[in-house]
Structure 1
C-alpha cells in the first residue's frame, strides 16, 4: 500500500505497522508473533448445558527477546485515532506478560513506553528499535551484571509438540530465573491447581541447566507422594531423560544431574541417635537447587521430620511451589515465613477468568438430621449404653455411631440422580471423612447402580484409599481422560491433592473440611479443562463445606446452577426449595433431604440476593447520578460504544440483559434499555424511533445515492441497533457495494466531517425527548 488514509480501519493500518517492524529486522514466526493469544476466554454454559467461551485476549504484536522472553507488545489502532490511543491497552498486556516495553501505532508513528523507567517517547515509522537495541535497553534498565545476563539469556525448552508456556507461566519462569541470577537462595511461586506448576518447574530447571556451568548443576526434586514423582517423571520432566533418576530404597547413584525423591526416601524414622539419615549419603553442598512440590505440606514447618532435609542442604537454592500458600505468622507452619513472599501468584479466579481453568456450579444438599441429633433413651439402649442420653452426635458421626446406614443411601441416591442429569459416565470423586465411610458409600452407590456396575466389569464404582491396595492400582485409569472406568470413586484423603485428575466433572463433599487449604486442594481436583470433553464441573455438597468459598483466602466464582435458561452471569439467587424424600431408618429415625440450595455469586464472588435487572439498576445508578446526567453523557459520546464499554467495566452487559429478559428488551434500543432499567422510563422499539426520521422528512433533504445510503443505514439501525449503525462496516453493506469504498460514500455528503454531522443530526432526532 502506497499511502495511509485516515479512513483505514485497524486491519488496514496493520499492514503499515508490519512493514515498519519487518524493516527493522522483526520477523513473523521468528522473533515476532502476530495476534498473540494471551488468554483462552472464560468458559460459559448455555441453557442446554453446552459450553462456549468468551472472547479470548490477543495482543496485536508480541516481540520477543533473543531468549524468547516477551519483550514488547505493540497495539495497532485505526488511522484516524490520535497517536498513542492503544498505549494503555498495550501496557495492560505488558503487565500480564511481564514484558518491559509497550508501543502503539496508528500507522503514522509509534508511541513507545519503557515500563521499567516510566519513560514515554514517540518514534517515526522508520525509527522503531531493533531486537538487539531493545534487548540492550532492557539489560541496561535492569542493571544486570554480565554474569546475570549469562543466566537470564538462556532460552526455554521447545519440544516437537509445539507446546509453549502460557503468559503467567512465562512470567513465573522469568522471575525465578532472574531471582536465581541475583543470588536469591529461597523463593516460592503460587499457581492454582491445574495451571501447570510442574511444567513451569521443568522450564525453570531447563533454563538454569543451560548456563555456562550447567553441566555441573545438580538438582533435588522433592514431593511427598509416589504418584507426584511418577507423574512428573513420565510427563512434564520426560525431556530430561537419562539425566534424571528416582531415589528408591533410600539410595541412588550419584552419576545423575536430577534426583527425584520422596521425603520418606531421605528421612528414616526411629533411627538410633547416632545413625546417619539417608540424606547424609550426599555431601551438604552436593545439590545446587532443590525444587519442593506442594511446599505447603510440611517441609517448611519447624521441627518437622522433613524440614531437616532442607536444613541439611541449606546452601542450595530452594524453590517452593504450591497452590495454597500458608502465612501463619503466629505458628511454625508458614511456608511464606520460610520461602518469603511469593514471586508470583496465579489464582483460581484468574485462571477461570482467563479460561485456563474450569468454572464450577454448586448444589448444597441439606439432610434433616445433619444439624446434629440428641440421643434418646431408645438410642442409648440400642447402643448398649455406649451413647449417653442427651448426648449430641455431630453430623459427621451420625452414620457410624448411630448405625444410620440410610444416611449413606440417601446421599448415594442423590448422587446417582445428579449423575443421571449431567451424564452417568462423568468422572466423579466422593470425598468421605474416613476410609470406612468410603467403603459404606461405595456399597450404597452400587445399590443404586447395579446394572452399570455389572456392565463395566464391576469397576464403575470403586473405593480408592490409602490402605486399599487393589483400589490404588486403578488410579491411573481413573485419572485418564480416555479410560471410562473407574467412573465414580469414593475416597477419604488419598485423592485430595497432587493427583492430576483432569477428567473429573463432579466432586461430592461428603466430608467435613475444616481447613481452607485442604478445601482448595479438593476443589482443584475438578478445575482442569479437557478440550472437546470437559469445560466445567459440578460440586455436590452434603456438609456445607462450600462455606469456605466465602473466606477471604478463597477466590473464583461458580457457574449458575443446572436448569433451563441459565447463563454464566450474575443471576437471581434461588431460594431453597424443600424436596422431602423421607426414609425410615432401621433404628426408627426419619431421615430425608429437607432442602437444596444453589450457590450463585455476583462478579465479586459475593452472594447475590437480587435479580440481574436489579443488580444492573444499582450499578447504573452509580455511573449516572440522574436521568439528565445520563442524557448528557449519551449525547456527548462520539460513539455509543463508549457508553457500552463504560457499563461493561462496571459489570453490566447489555447483551446479557437482553438474553435474561428477551420478551422485555427484544428489539429495543440500547438507550431505551438503560433508561428503563436505571430510571423506570418507558421504552420505544427501534422501529418506532426510526419512524421519527421519516416523520421529520429528514431523508428528503438528500437525493440519489446519498439518500439511498441513509435508507440502508436506517434499516441497519432498525434491524441491529445503534452500535451497528455507527460502525464504518455499515457502509460496506451488500446493498451499497456498487457505490464504492466507505471513503467514496462519505464524499457523497461532502466528505468525512460532513458525513459525521449527518449521523449526529439523525441521532439527535432518534433520541429527542
Structure 2
C-alpha cells in the first residue's frame, strides 16, 4: 500500500504527502471536510520595545482531524524520518490542549505513536500506518470521553454559521461555544462565559445562538445589553445573518412575530409599571437569553434589571463578561455559577490575539506632595477654600488646578507629536466637567491640528449629543477624525475602538472591574491599520492595579450573605468597588457604593443612555468643587514599563530582554556559537531568534552599531567585543581563502563577501542574488554556477564554506 522509498532523504512535507495522508485517507477520512492541514491556532505574540513591535513566529498544527467543523477530534504532528517516530508528540499535545481533543498522533512516516486520553491505562501505543482509526471509531471514543448522551448530539453536532469567506471561530471561541452548548444540552440553565475584552464575545454569542436556533433547540432568543451602542453594533455586525428573523426592541414594544430580539434593559423596564414592556409576553416566551456585560446592571440582586431575568426564569440564561464581579454585595457566580470557560487577557496577549501595552507612568509634584491653600484663600469663584492638604485623590474631584490640567494636556500632546499625532487617543477624566476642561486644554495646545479639522479633539460624554454623535467616527478605522476623545464614563466599556493606540488615565480608579474595562479599550489588534500594541499614559497611579493578583484572574467569590440580608443597614461597600464614584460618577448605586438604595437601580452608565424622550440623564450628583490657578506644577518623574512574558510590567531595555531570552536558549557563548556554526543556513537560526521576539532593528538602535545578528548576540548577551561586518569581511580576504577556487568562483565569492559587508549574511543566502549586479556582468545564474563551481550542490557547498570563514574567529 505504501510505496518503497528511501525515507531518510525525504522532508517533513514529503512524509506527510507520501505516507501520513494516504494512511489517514485509507482509513476513511474525507479529504475535503474532515482533514485540515497547517492549522494556525495562534497568531504569534507581539513583542514591543521602544517604538517598534514585531510578532513572534508561530508554528501551525500539521494536521487536525474533524468529525464536523465544530468538532475537532485529533491532532497529527509529523517529523522527517531522520527523527524518532514520536518526536512530534509534545508539540501535538500542546495543540490538543488548545482544541480540547483527546487524540494525538506523532509520525515520521514509519508508523504512529497514538496518544489516547480515553484510555488512561495505556496512554500511548505504537500503531502501523495501516491501522489508523476510522472517523467513526474516534468520534465514538470522543463522545464517550466527553460524556455526551445521544439526546445532546443534535445540538452539539450542529454546524457553525459559515458565510463562505473562510472565517471560522478561533480555538478559544470554539471552546467557549462548545462548552456552552455542552452545558445547555446537558440541562444547565445558568451559564457564565468570561472572555477578555477584544476576544470576540459578541461573535461567540452569535455562534451559540445560531447553532441552538438552527438545531431548533431554542426558538425565541433575547439579547440584552445596557447601552445603545452595544445593541446597534451587534445588530449591524455579528448578528446580521439572522436577517428578517431579528428585531431591535424599540418604543417599549415586544413584537412576538420575531424570533431573535435585541434590547436595551431600558426598553424593557422602568420604575413605573407602564414601562415594564417585558410583561407584554408570557414568562415562557423566551427560551434563551444572552446577557452582554453581565457584570453591570443585572449582577445585583436588587437591580430592577434583574427582574427581567427573573420574569423569564424558565429561559436558559448565558452571561457574557470580561470582568466578572465578585464583591460583598454583587456576585456573578452566585447567579450564573462558575464560568464554563475563561479566556483571559494574558492568554490573549500570549497567543497574539490581543495587543500588549507599554506603560508611561507620569508623577506630578503636587499629586505626590500635596497642595495646601494659603490662609483664607479664595478660589476663582470667590469661595473660601477649605484649609487642608489636597492630593491626587482630590484633584479634578473636589479641587481643580488649571496648571495641572494644562500639564497633563501638554504631556499628552508632546507624546503624540513624538510618536503619531493622528493616533486615536482616549483620555479618561474624573467627570464630565473635567473632560470639558481637558478638551479645551488640548485644543489650545494643538492649534495646527485643530485648524486642519476642528474635530481633532472632541468631548464624548453622555451629556453631549454632538460629542456622542462622533463616537461612531472615532471607532471607525477608516475615519481620521476625531483623533482625541476626552470622556469620563461613556467609553469605559463596550466601545470597539480597534485602532486606539493611546489610553490616558487621569481618573482615580480603585475598581478592578472598571480598570479592566478601560484597559480593554486598547487591547484590540488591527493588522490592516498597523495597530499591534498600545500605550497607557498614567497620571494617577492607576496602573499599580496591574500588580494586583485579581487583574488577570477570576476574582474569588466573597459573597456569602443571602439576598434578603444584604442591605439591612450595614455598609457593604467592597474595597474593590470603592472608587469614590458616589461623589460625581454617572454610575448609579450599583457601581457607586450607594448601598442603602431606597429604590431599585437601573444599572450601568446612565450618562450614556438617554431616556425615552432623548434627554440624557444627569452626569452625577452635585459636589462642591474648588477651582484655582497660579499654582506651579511640574513633572518630577517618568518611567516606561513593558508587558513581560509572565504578564507583569517590567522596566527594561531591549538589550535586557534579548539577554534574558537568549540565555534561556543558550546558557553559554559556546552553546550559541556551536549552534550558529552547525546551522547550514543562518536564515534558519535568525528566524528562530525572531520567533523568540528578538527584534534586530531595535537591538541595532540600542547598540548604536550596524552589526551582524551573530555579533549583536555575542556582544549584547555574552559581552563579547563586536566585529562589524566589514571587519569580518576584511579578515576573510586577508586569509587568502579564495585561492583554491577558479577565477570565476573567486570573483563570485568576493562579490558575495562585499554583499555581506554591506547588507548582512542573509544576502549571501538569497536565492536570487545571482540575478543582480555585479553578478549579471558574469552571466546568467545557471552559467555562473556551471562555470565557477560545476554543479548547484557545489555552489551550495561553497556558500556554506564562505559562511564558515566569515565566522571562523567564533
For the residue of structure 1 that corresponds to 2:298, the secondary structure is coil
Answer yes or no: is 1:490 the counterpart of 2:486: yes
For the residue of structure 2 that corresponds to 1:595, the secondary structure is strand
Q: Confirm or deny: 8 A CA contact 2:118 2:141 kept in the other structure.
A: no
Q: Confirm or deny: 8 A CA contact 1:634 1:640 kept in the other structure.
A: no
TM-score w.r.t. the length of structure 2 is 0.75
Distance 2:118 2:310 in 1: 37
Structure 1 residue 404 displacement after superposition: 2.4
Measured against aligned partners, the alpha-carbon deviations of 1:639-688 in whole angstroms (never above 9, x if no partner) come to 999xx99x989989697997587689956969x9689957x799999999
Partner of 1:37: 40
Q: Confirm or deny: 8 A CA contact 1:36 1:60 kept in the other structure.
A: yes
Partner of 1:283: 282
Alignment of 1:213-612 (within 5 A): 213-214=216-217, 217-271=219-273, 277-328=276-327, 331-371=328-368, 372-377=370-375, 379-380=377-378, 384=382, 386-389=384-387, 391-399=388-396, 403-456=400-453, 458-535=454-531, 536-555=533-552, 587-608=629-650
Match of 1:114 among 108, 113, 116: 116
Q: Confirm or deny: 8 A CA contact 1:31 1:68 kept in the other structure.
A: no
Answer yes or no: is 1:152 the counterpart of 2:194: no
Match of 1:162 among 166, 170, 175: 166
Answer yes or no: is 1:135 the counterpart of 2:134: no
Q: Confirm or deny: 8 A CA contact 1:673 1:683 kept in the other structure.
A: no
Tell me: CA distance 1:440–1:613, structure 2 relative to 1, closer, same or farther (3 Å). Answer: closer
Distance 1:326 1:292 in 2: 14
Distance 2:165 2:90 in 1: 35
Distance 1:415 1:663 in 2: 28
* Structure 1: stretches of 5+ with no match in the other structure: 557-584, 694-701, 726-732, 749-758
Distance 1:336 1:656 in 2: 47
For the residue of structure 2 that corresponds to 1:377, the secondary structure is coil
Distance 1:634 1:160 in 2: 45
Structure 1 residue 133 displacement after superposition: 3.0
Q: Confirm or deny: 8 A CA contact 1:292 1:320 kept in the other structure.
A: yes
Q: Confirm or deny: 8 A CA contact 2:16 2:109 kept in the other structure.
A: yes
Q: Confirm or deny: 8 A CA contact 2:196 2:348 kept in the other structure.
A: yes
Tell me: CA distance 1:333–1:232, structure 2 relative to 1, closer, same or farther (3 Å). Answer: same
Measured against aligned partners, the alpha-carbon deviations of 1:241-275 in whole angstroms (never above 9, x if no partner) come to 1211222222211122112111222222154xxx7
Structure 1 residue 173 displacement after superposition: 1.0
For the residue of structure 1 that corresponds to 2:472, the secondary structure is helix
Distance 1:608 1:156 in 2: 41
Distance 2:256 2:27 in 1: 49
Distance 2:167 2:692 in 1: 34
Tell me: CA distance 1:741–1:639, structure 2 relative to 1, closer, same or farther (3 Å). Answer: closer
Distance 2:165 2:472 in 1: 23
Distance 1:426 1:723 in 2: 34
Q: Confirm or deny: 8 A CA contact 1:298 1:333 kept in the other structure.
A: no
Tell me: CA distance 1:117–1:189, structure 2 relative to 1, closer, same or farther (3 Å). Answer: farther
Q: Confirm or deny: 8 A CA contact 2:270 2:276 kept in the other structure.
A: yes
Tell me: CA distance 1:129–1:618, structure 2 relative to 1, closer, same or farther (3 Å). Answer: closer
Cα RMSD after superposing both structures: 4.7
Q: Confirm or deny: 8 A CA contact 2:177 2:204 kept in the other structure.
A: yes
For the residue of structure 1 that corresponds to 2:16, the secondary structure is helix
Distance 1:248 1:392 in 2: 50
Tell me: CA distance 1:403–1:318, structure 2 relative to 1, closer, same or farther (3 Å). Answer: closer
Structure 1 residue 26 displacement after superposition: 3.4
Tell me: CA distance 1:482–1:675, structure 2 relative to 1, closer, same or farther (3 Å). Answer: closer
Answer yes or no: is 1:124 the counterpart of 2:120: no
Structure 1 residue 31 displacement after superposition: 2.1
Measured against aligned partners, the alpha-carbon deviations of 1:417-456 in whole angstroms (never above 9, x if no partner) come to 2222222222211111010111111111111223432332
Measured against aligned partners, the alpha-carbon deviations of 1:14-72 in whole angstroms (never above 9, x if no partner) come to 2122333333343444322211121222234576x455422133111122213542222
Q: Confirm or deny: 8 A CA contact 1:668 1:683 kept in the other structure.
A: no
For the residue of structure 1 that corresponds to 2:358, the secondary structure is strand
Match of 1:200 among 197, 204, 217: 204
Measured against aligned partners, the alpha-carbon deviations of 1:358-415 in whole angstroms (never above 9, x if no partner) come to 22222122222222312221635877563233x1223354357555223222222222
For the residue of structure 2 that corresponds to 1:373, the secondary structure is coil
Q: Confirm or deny: 8 A CA contact 2:48 2:358 kept in the other structure.
A: no
Q: Confirm or deny: 8 A CA contact 1:668 1:685 kept in the other structure.
A: no
Alignment of 1:53-92 (within 5 A): 53-92=55-94
Structure 1 residue 610 displacement after superposition: 6.2
Q: Confirm or deny: 8 A CA contact 1:396 1:511 kept in the other structure.
A: no
Alignment of 1:575-724 (within 5 A): 587-608=629-650, 666=707
Which stretch shifts more, 378-387 or 359-368? Answer: 378-387
Answer yes or no: is 1:210 the counterpart of 2:214: yes
For the residue of structure 2 that corresponds to 1:318, the secondary structure is strand
Measured against aligned partners, the alpha-carbon deviations of 1:151-172 in whole angstroms (never above 9, x if no partner) come to 2111100013332111111111
Tell me: CA distance 1:589–1:527, structure 2 relative to 1, closer, same or farther (3 Å). Answer: same
Tell me: CA distance 1:2–1:723, structure 2 relative to 1, closer, same or farther (3 Å). Answer: farther
TM-score w.r.t. the length of structure 1 is 0.78
Tell me: CA distance 1:61–1:414, structure 2 relative to 1, closer, same or farther (3 Å). Answer: same
Distance 1:46 1:29 in 2: 43
Distance 1:141 1:685 in 2: 59
Structure 1 residue 608 displacement after superposition: 3.8
Which stretch shifts more, 605-614 or 64-73? Answer: 605-614
Q: Confirm or deny: 8 A CA contact 1:75 1:87 kept in the other structure.
A: yes
Tell me: CA distance 1:253–1:586, structure 2 relative to 1, closer, same or farther (3 Å). Answer: closer
Q: Confirm or deny: 8 A CA contact 1:266 1:278 kept in the other structure.
A: yes
Measured against aligned partners, the alpha-carbon deviations of 1:716-749 in whole angstroms (never above 9, x if no partner) come to xx99999999xxxxxxx9999988898x999x9x
Measured against aligned partners, the alpha-carbon deviations of 1:309-356 in whole angstroms (never above 9, x if no partner) come to 22222222111111112233xx13121232222222212122222222
Q: Confirm or deny: 8 A CA contact 1:4 1:107 kept in the other structure.
A: no
Distance 1:383 1:618 in 2: 57
Q: Confirm or deny: 8 A CA contact 2:77 2:92 kept in the other structure.
A: yes
* Structure 2: stretches of 5+ with no match in the other structure: 554-626, 733-739, 765-780
